[in-house]
Amino acid sequence: MNHGKPYFFKYVTMEGLQNITSNLSRKWSCPLAFNDPFDAQFDLGFPFTFEAFAPAFLDEQEKMVFDDQEPSCDPSHPLFRLMMLTRQTRHQRSREEFRQFFRSVEVQAIPNLKKAQEIASQTWTD
């Protein structure tokens, strides 16, 4: 749900602020500790469908592999490592060949993403 505001406020202690800024971490309080029963989200939802997400994700992967500027990301992330390996051999295939391959992967991935979301939502609810 869009709240129409360009910003959020997060009230934290000075120690909490230091953790957020120095460790790039966030604190997620247990909903049982909330004083407002409507503060808790009851399921894991996204403001998009996986059918809409998949082509946008493919566009970003294509940019990582074929754009002139080398991307930066967490070098230990398996997907980023795969994209960087693919980038090293990008001259061996066309953008369309790349997209055709990953379109077939996304068709298989969408049901898995939906199932993972259902499991995560049920876990969150539990």
Q: What's the pLDDT band for 40 if we cut at 50, 70, 90? A: low
pLDDT in tens, 66-77: 999 999 989 999
Give the SS3 label for residue 4.
Answer: coil
Q: What is the mean pLDDT of residues 67-91?
A: 92
Compute CA distances 39 → 32, 33, 53, 118, whole Å.
Answer: 10, 10, 27, 21
- Note the pLDDT of residue 25: 75
**pLDDT recorded at residue 17:** 84
pTM of structure = 0.58
Do 71 and 63 contact (CB within 8 A), yes or no?
A: yes
CA distance 45 to 124: 11
pLDDT tens for each residue of 24-39: 877 777 767 777 666 6
